[in-house]
Structure 1
Amino acid sequence: MVQYARTHLDASFAALSDATRRGVLEQLGRADASITELAEKFHMTLTGMKKHVGVLEQAGFVTTEKVGRVRTCKLGLRELEAEAAWIERYRQLWDARFNELDKVVEELKRMEQADGRTKT
């Protein structure tokens, strides 16, 4: 189970790591589009766009359907719950660490102010 989750997260974050692929997801969130339309919108070759769509499809973010010579892309059914949960765990960890750091900084400021008063 853990290995599957890691592989799943790796595919998701790899797919989302590219600005073009994120743009494709945004575009498909507005309307389905053919690979040709996406390639034109992003000023890419068909081959380049097919590769991007393939990565998104492998991660489950996009589905494609070929009718005749046209391959239409639409958003997949996959949600980002696992990815959001992973990010949230680390957000909480870093929040706790920064809160502790704030406490240390405040204590150092108090000590500095106390030392300043005794020297004057």
Structure 2
Amino acid sequence: MRSALHSALEQPQAWRAGAAEVSVEEITAVLAGPAGDVVRAHGGAVWVAGVHAGVVDLELSGACDGCPASGLTISTTLAAAIRRAVPGVVDVRLIESRRPAFVSLGGLLRRGPQEPDA
């Protein structure tokens, strides 16, 4: 054992990360099943925003976007299902929505015309 360790330490260029390649398709298939049903049952949707070096970035929309419990849903339900089904996943993260914030038409009408900036 000791000699194998010494041999490996002498050749760092041969070291490889143990994480397997993770594909968006594999993650999407998991989210299309029962794991994603949790989000869909609450009026939301979930999709893969990106995968890099075993880290999966998920994005939520609908009723789940901005929900205070969304982090808990990701960490307990979705991340567990993804890790069980897809080897090589090292982390599952929720990223913020890139869509513009909702602006109420009623709020805009109540404010009335705005003075132009001088």
TM-score (ref. length: structure 1): 0.25
More helix by share: 1
More strand by share: 2
